[in-house]
Amino acid sequence: MSESTSAAQTDPLARIAALPGVAEAVQETRTLVDRLLGHRILRRRSSDVSMESSLRGACASAALEGAEVAMDEIREGHVYDTRIKGALRVSGELGSLVETWPKAPRQVLARLHTLAAADAVGEDALGRPRREGERVEDPLGLGPAPAPQVAHARLEGLYALLAARTSVPALVTSALVHGELMAVRPFGWGDGLVARAAERLTLIERGLDPKSLVPSELGHRTLEDGYASALRGYMSGTPEGVAEWVVHCCEAVRAGAQDSLATCEALKRG
């Protein structure tokens, strides 16, 4: 039995990492992110790049929820759409949740939803998994969400995987986190905001992007035509569909890293 086959049997995520095309996409993405992390401007201006990445990522995530986003208005503080306000709150608090995420993912997801949905749902629904009969928003047209009890069971499985501290690349783990949260849509409103934040949180916590420089949400927005399609592939549960989703997430992270590289170059030029 080969080492990779043995790993796939003991680590469920290793099976995903071994799917066709995944390793190549991970390596290509890692190379570009490392290039970003090595940019000279970060020696003096990493906080500026991180702040810009945070803002651009939040705006992109809100846009994927259907919000009309104008960056100039947001920079000037003219924010009225509940989705934009929620995305900005989530983005602003992400850094404080990094250490808690691997220890208490359930608590972090509840906090993310509370931040995302504070202006959109009743106080009793903030951070609480949806109940039978409650509406599930579907801005991406993914189709019906699973029943609450099914969503709960899948979330418990996700928590177990996160607790196991898999050895597979951060890009694979973060893609699974994002995909599962979008597949089960645990809260009913703002699930996309939560899922994309959780993906980014995983990339930070697992060491791919420790300074939070990469707006992966912007990458998904840039690849918007393929985003919902790739999610449906993941939700199908087929090896091909899951591989397509992980590769898409790698492409989104690359697009986000490329955007931050452009920010670095702009700061370099002054």
- pLDDT of amino acid 225: 86
- Between the CA of residue 50 and those of 12, 100, 140, 256, 257, what are the distances in Å? 33, 20, 28, 12, 11
What does the pLDDT look like over 83-111, one tens digit per residue? Answer: 999 999 999 999 999 999 999 999 999 99
Other CB atoms within a 10 A radius of the CB of residue 266 amount to 12
What does the pLDDT look like over 195-230, one tens digit per residue? Answer: 999 999 999 999 999 999 999 999 999 998 899 999
Average pLDDT, whole number, for the chain?
94
Cα 102 from chain centre: 15
Report the candidate in 262, 261, 268, 269 with the shortest Cα–Cα distance to residue 38: 261
Torsional sign, CA 124, 149, 14, 235: negative
- Quote the CA–CA distance of 54 and 90 in Å, as a whole number: 10
> Mean of the pLDDT values across residues 115-128?
96
Report the candidate in 80, 81, 111, 79 with the shortest Cα–Cα distance to residue 95: 111
- Between the CA of residue 72 and those of 2, 59, 68, 159, what are the distances in Å? 54, 11, 12, 39
Cα 269 from chain centre: 31
* Contact indicator for 216, 57 with CB cutoff of 8 Å: yes
Angle at the Cα of 92 (from 163 to 177), degrees rounded to 5?
30
What does the pLDDT look like over 21-68, one tens digit per residue? Answer: 999 999 999 999 999 999 999 999 999 999 999 999 999 999 999 998
What does the pLDDT look like over 2-31, one tens digit per residue? Answer: 444 444 456 889 999 999 999 999 999 999
- Quote the CA–CA distance of 12 and 102 in Å, as a whole number: 17
Provide the whole-model pTM.
Answer: 0.94
Boundaries of every domain in the chain:
13-269
CATH number listed for the domain at residues 13-269: 1.10.3290.10
Percent of the chain at pLDDT exceeding 70: 96
* Contact indicator for 54, 88 with CB cutoff of 8 Å: no
How would you class 181 by CB atoms within 10 Å of its CB: exposed for 0-12, middle for 13-18, buried for 19 or more? buried
> Mean of the pLDDT values across residues 135-163?
95
- Quote the CA–CA distance of 245 and 178 in Å, as a whole number: 10
Place of tokens 């009309």: 68
Q: Which amino acid is at 124?
A: D
